[in-house]
Structure 1
């Protein structure tokens, strides 16, 4: 198979970078002004050796006119001012560009679907935001002008050298092509190394973020040594890339110095002979050497520029991969009647990978104002079903509709705004209790309204006992609060949202009996008058549900009330026998019911479970939902 042309490969690698620059909309006016000033500074520097030539050839202070001195001084001042202003403007333009790029990337990261984060580690996204954008900023603010000024300096110097002495100038071209043959391959090597280092840096950042965010798990598992070795290995790989980068850099700098010294020796030796023969003046030789410096120094800058642009190309590829990823679709009409219309799932198929379905032909109706419980073995697809209802994912086949209208026709903000979600983890952000209670709300919440919601969630008592009350910092991910306290704050937050549809995902499964009893009371307040979906492993919390869906292996294999499933669904009956110690479907023995009542009184499981519309202590066996 024919190898790709290196030039075409370089152009292809440059396209993402150029596209990114164009889409970032840099301040072109400032860039043009900054580069123009750099060019002016370079042009002035091309004139200075000619003044020096006249000075050396005159070789007497009496021959130097005041105009010459003023001209030299003016040239130096103009060059200094132009260069200084250019550096500032380039840095300003670079900072503006990277700020705009980070803003655009941050917006993109927030609009990307949940499926993107299933396949991408958080630390890699952080690396895109910080390291990769920083590389592009460095290129624009520190190296962009060197491309134009370097080329002008080289072309201008070579042109003047041809004017001064074309024979000596031709001698230069015996050395410069040789140096290019060496430096260009080194630049390509630097590109590959930089790309690998950026990948490894992103991976290392991802590992750091993951470990430090779960430091309690690390310590509880005694995994400090394991994580140390893993981090040490990543640091070692970064070190290897850094050493390789250093080796390439170690070749580039000495080679440039070698080229310069070779040229200097050749020019001084050959020029000295020209001066002694009278073919060249001493001033011309000095000017020749100064112009030589103005060729070699830009060559060094251009080498650094091409090294940096190789890094920027690698960074641009990764940033563009993120920016080109499909966003969530936010447009649509308002979902105004979410609590008054049924939610219908018809033949829904979904898998995180298309070839591995998690949900298979799921069909059901969630009736408005009622409690629908979803139970079944772990891995059956219950939480995945919630993810589809929240539109974190799109079904591969089938449809989900609200009152006959596909939920995809509603705007994401209005659809998710009509849903209150309380999960087992009850995630909180670093900040105060008040900030977490009002998180995501687009309206002002008065202190009285906040306290009223906290009271309904049975959270007001413990909040007021905190050192600063509602202004107490909860720590990263809410670590300063207990599980029950986090759960009640999540419930209060849902109450403030006033959702039409309520989704509870194992909301009490990780709590002790005392906390569960309080949270169950809070949930009863939250569920009142709302369409409610409940995922539960413990049947004691959902036996009062209006409808129970039994899911296993991605399918709904049973539906109905508790007594119906107890009678007709073998696996549900097995679950009930294990958890509730109930009698069989044909045995209405009251002793088992009494035993269950006593068990619920001891554990607190029976307090305010279900929708709050029926007895907290369901009778199982022959007389269900009595009270």
Structure 2
């Protein structure tokens, strides 16, 4: 599969292959020049041969340099092109994978795959293939020369090659296993490092620096052991291969004495052949190291192909409505995370267009899961969801997502400008006047205008240049700008102070007019005016109604309300 990706660069491969072959031939030719230099120049004392030798040396070295540049640059270009496209394809695939995939995979491990593992592929397609082509050309040309000069000595030299092949085969298996383990360890180390750096405040406030250091040290040590296992295999196989080749060379030296005495081998041929055989130890060493690089690269490629082979987010819907009115119906919806107990059980309700629906309940009741089902990040295990009378599964994903906006309690801002963050996802960037108007509605313009560059101010990684409340107000401004018929607010005002919340709530009230809005809230004071309140507990919809009707019932909502506002529950006494 990796070769298939590189096929379309075949012209560059041809150029690189010819340059590498020329490099290997020139290396072998340099050694072959010893035969006429010794036989004719030194032994035969031919002055013309001695005069030409320096010219040949300069020409060969110059051509070798050109071949090295062309092959090295071209192979690196091919490697980086293949890896760049590979990385982009994997990243594009990640953006289209279902939510369940990210539930089971850590972001650090995925990051290691598209950085560290992809780099291994680049090394395979450039450095390793360069060595493979160069040294193969050297060995093949040298072998042809040795067979032509004296086939008997050549056969003696190759007696050790079956044993060399056996060593390479065993080493290859060990390299693949070691590479797989090492890349897994790298993913774990990246994930742990990312978590620790993002949570540095938590680590420091609890005085857990030593614990974090120890955890990271253990992960680094695990990676080091896996890496050293591969290095041990490489450094054991290489000298063993050279020892076996040297054994063949020693046998050649022993037999060559009789060849010299019988006249079947001249002094020049003897020196050239022995020099080629000794020089072949270097390619054998290089090729044995290529074995480890190829193993690393192939294991790394497989980890990326595994991502590409993952099934994408299901989008079997065929109905693509330009806009929705906002009618939402849930019919006996149950959802389970894998084989775990249900997160939602037999939930049913009906919402008319333009209604404000609040979702309340204790932590773990299934509030966020309900929103995820509405956005079709997950699919109901049982039951169905209807939007404007259409089964959610029959609508295209683009139709659903185009008609919904989300502001969650965990705000996602990118390391970009205020303008680009607020306009994120829009096909056309609105005018600055429109953006400023939205920022004012979200009670954000008063701090944005004080920033250097205003709309062009950078927010930093994850919005690090802004406070929590400021980040959340930008997220609200983004939702306001998208102006969708369905609005999902998951604790959208949780990071705001009382004064800011009052302004935001007024802006949201205006925004929610003629717009279906689902609000997940823990602060019950913010949802008392909701048209409908859904009360979840243990994944079940235990109550639904207005604020006053639910208080009058004296059930779960009433209990939550009285606990939150410190009022005594019915039936209790006060002193």
- 1:472 aligns to 2:454 (yes or no): no
Partner Cα distance (1:519, 1:221) in 2: 34
* Unmatched runs of 5 consecutive residues or more in structure 1: 1-18, 587-627
Match of residue 2 from structure 2? 20
Partner SS for 1:327: coil
Tell me the residue number matched to 1:595: none
Q: How does 1:80-159 map to 2 (within 5 A)?
A: 80-159=65-144
**Residues 311 and 274 of structure 1, relative CA distance in 2, 3 Å threshold:** same
Q: Does 1:196 align with 2:181?
A: yes
- Distance verdict in 2 for CA 1:20–1:167, change over 3 Å: closer
Equivalent residue number for residue 168 of structure 1: 153
- 1:509 is aligned to 494
CA distance in 2, matches of 1:26, 1:217: 50
Question: How many aligned positions are there?
Answer: 567
Q: CA offsets, 1:335-364, max 9 Å, x none?
A: 4332x2411112222122144221112221
Structure 2 equivalent of residue 608 of structure 1: none
The match for 2:209 is 224
- 1:25 and 1:380, CA in 2 relative to 1: closer, same or farther beyond 3 A? farther
Deviations 1:280-328 (A, max 9, x none): 2101101212331453332222212211111112112211111111112
| Whole-angstrom CA distance in 2 between matches of 1:475 and 1:277 | 82
Q: Does 1:381 align with 2:363?
A: no
Q: Quick one: structure 1 residues 475 and 148, their matched pair in 2 at CA, closer, same or farther if it must change by over 3 Å?
A: closer
2:198 alignment counterpart: 213
Higher mean alpha-carbon deviation, 430-439 vs 359-368, is at 430-439
1:181 aligns with 2:163: no
Question: Which aligned pairs between 1:138-537 and structure 2 lie closer than 5 A?
Answer: 138-329=123-314, 332-338=318-324, 340-537=325-522
Task: Report the equivalent of 1:38.
Answer: 20
Write out per-residue CA displacement over residues 21-75 of structure 1, whole angstroms, 9 at most, x where no aligned residue: 3246551221123113322443454445444312211122425287887667655
SS in 2 for 1:81: helix
Distance in 2 between residues matched to 1:50 and 1:423, nearest whole Å: 73
Give the conservation status (yes or no) of the 8 Å contact 2:161–2:245: no
Q: Single out whichever of 206-215 and 459-468 deviates more from structure 2.
A: 459-468
Task: String of CA shifts for 1:59-107, please: whole Å, max 9, x gaps.
Answer: 2242528788766765554444334322221111111111111111111
Q: Distance in 2 between matches of 1:581 and 1:248?
A: 69
- Are residues 365 and 27 of structure 1, via their aligned partners in 2, closer, same or farther at CA, if it must alter by over 3 Å? same
The answer to whether residue 37 in structure 2 is matched with residue 55 in structure 1 is: yes
Name which structure has the greater RCO, CA cutoff 8 Å, separation 6+: 2
Whether 1:551 aligns to 2:536 is yes
C-alpha deviation, 1:261, in angstroms: 4.0
2-side partners of 1:343 and 1:249: how far apart? 63
- The Cα shift of 1:264 comes to 4.0
**2:559 is matched with which residue?**
574
Q: Distance in 2 between matches of 1:65 and 1:546?
A: 103
State the 4+ residue runs in structure 1 displaced beyond 6 angstroms: 65-72, 581-586
In the alignment, is the contact (CA less than 8 A) between 1:105 and 1:129 conserved in 2?
yes
CA–CA separation in structure 2 for the residues paired with 1:385 and 1:399 = 12
The answer for the alignment partner of 1:624 in structure 2 is none
Contact 1:577 1:583 in 2 (8 A): yes
Structure 1 residue 569: Cα displacement: 5.8
Q: RMSD across aligned C-alpha pairs, in angstroms?
A: 2.7
